[in-house]
Amino acid sequence: MYQTKFFQGSDNTELVQLITTIFKTSHDGLAICDRNGYVLLYNDAYLNITGIPADILNNFSYIEQKEMHMVPDSSAARAISTKQTHSVVIHYGNGRTAINTATPLLDQNQELLFVVGNVRDITELNMLQQELEETRQINSSFQRALEQIQSDLDSGGQIIYRSSMMHRIVSLANRFAANDSPVLLLGESGVGKDVLANYIHAESGRPGEFIKINCGAIPDHLLESELFGYEKGAFTGASQAKEGLFELAHSGTIFLDEVGDLPFPLQVKLLNVLQDGKIRRLGGKTQRQVNMRIIAATNSDLEAMVEQKTFRQDLYYRLNVLSLTIPPLRERREDIPALIFYYLKKLEWKYQLEIRLETDALEALVDYDWPGNVRELKNVVERSYHMCENGRITYDQLPASIRSAQHSTLPLHLAKMEEALPLKEAVERFEREYIQRILHESSTMQECADKLGVNISTLVRKKRGLGIK
Ligand X SMILES: Nc1ncnc2c1ncn2[C@@H]1O[C@H](COP(=O)(O)OP(=O)(O)OP(=O)(O)O)[C@@H](O)[C@H]1O
To ligand X, the closest distance from the beta carbon of 326 in angstroms equals 7
Q: Check residue 379 for interaction with ligand X (CB under 6 A).
A: no
Strand-by-strand arrangement of the 112-121 sheet? 2-3, 39-42, 29-34, 112-121, 97-106, 86-91
Q: Check residue 378 for interaction with ligand X (CB under 6 A).
A: yes
Contact between residue 266 and residue 218 where contact means Cβ atoms under 8 Å apart: no
Q: Check residue 123 for interaction with ligand X (CB under 6 A).
A: no
Q: Cα–Cα distance between 269 and 252 in angstroms, integer?
A: 20
Q: Check residue 358 for interaction with ligand X (CB under 6 A).
A: no
User: What is each CA distance from 132 to 95, 120, 121, 129, 346, in whole angstroms?
Assistant: 20, 20, 18, 5, 26
- Determine the number of helices (DSSP H) and then strands (DSSP E) in the chain: 21, 17
Residue 41 exposure: Cα atoms within 13 Å on the Cβ side: 18
To ligand X, the closest distance from the beta carbon of 316 in angstroms equals 18
Question: Exactly one of 254, 299, 315, 459 binds ligand X (CB under 6 A); which one?
Answer: 299
Q: Check residue 97 for interaction with ligand X (CB under 6 A).
A: no
Q: Check residue 161 for interaction with ligand X (CB under 6 A).
A: yes
Task: Identify which of residues 39 and 380 has a Cβ nearer to ligand X in the complex.
Answer: 380
Q: Check residue 320 for interaction with ligand X (CB under 6 A).
A: no
Other Cβ atoms within 10 Å of 290 Cβ, number = 19
Q: Cα–Cα distance between 323 and 46 in angstroms, integer?
A: 81
Task: Identify which of residues 247 and 376 has a Cβ nearer to ligand X in the complex.
Answer: 376
Using the contact rule CB under 6 A, the part of the chain among 38-46, 182-190, 232-240, 454-462 near ligand X is 182-190
To ligand X, the closest distance from the beta carbon of 259 in angstroms equals 11
To ligand X, the closest distance from the beta carbon of 267 in angstroms equals 19
Nearest residue to ligand X, using CB? Answer: 192
To ligand X, the closest distance from the beta carbon of 150 in angstroms equals 15
What track of x and - describes contact with ligand X for positions 236 through 275 (by CB under 6 A)?
---------------------x------------------
Contact between residue 83 and residue 110 where contact means Cβ atoms under 8 Å apart: yes
Question: Exactly one of 160, 173, 295, 448 binds ligand X (CB under 6 A); which one?
Answer: 160
Helix (H) or strand (E) holding 88: strand 86-91
Q: Check residue 57 for interaction with ligand X (CB under 6 A).
A: no
Q: Check residue 195 for interaction with ligand X (CB under 6 A).
A: yes
Helix (H) or strand (E) holding 183: strand 183-186
Task: Identify which of residues 182 and 187 has a Cβ nearer to ligand X in the complex.
Answer: 187
User: What is each CA distance from 117 to 46, 56, 69, 75, 404, in whole angstroms?
Assistant: 9, 16, 19, 8, 66
Using the contact rule CB under 6 A, the part of the chain among 142-150, 350-358, 374-382, 391-399 near ligand X is 374-382
To ligand X, the closest distance from the beta carbon of 182 in angstroms equals 17
DSSP class of 7: G
Q: Cα–Cα distance between 115 and 104 in angstroms, integer?
A: 4
Q: Cα–Cα distance between 315 and 338 in angstroms, integer?
A: 37
Q: Check residue 327 for interaction with ligand X (CB under 6 A).
A: no
CA proximity to 340, closest of 318, 311, 361? 361
Contact between residue 443 and residue 168 where contact means Cβ atoms under 8 Å apart: yes
Q: Check residue 73 for interaction with ligand X (CB under 6 A).
A: no
Question: Exactly one of 48, 103, 148, 158 binds ligand X (CB under 6 A); which one?
Answer: 158
Question: Exactly one of 29, 117, 156, 187 binds ligand X (CB under 6 A); which one?
Answer: 187
Q: Which residues have a Cβ under 8 Å from the Cβ of 277 and sit 6 or more positions away?
A: 289, 290, 291, 292
Q: Check residue 194 for interaction with ligand X (CB under 6 A).
A: yes
Task: Identify which of residues 20 and 214 has a Cβ nearer to ligand X in the complex.
Answer: 214
Q: Check residue 189 for interaction with ligand X (CB under 6 A).
A: yes
Residues of the shown chain interacting with ligand X in the complex, contacts defined by CB under 6 A: 158-161, 187, 189-195, 257, 299, 339, 374-375, 378
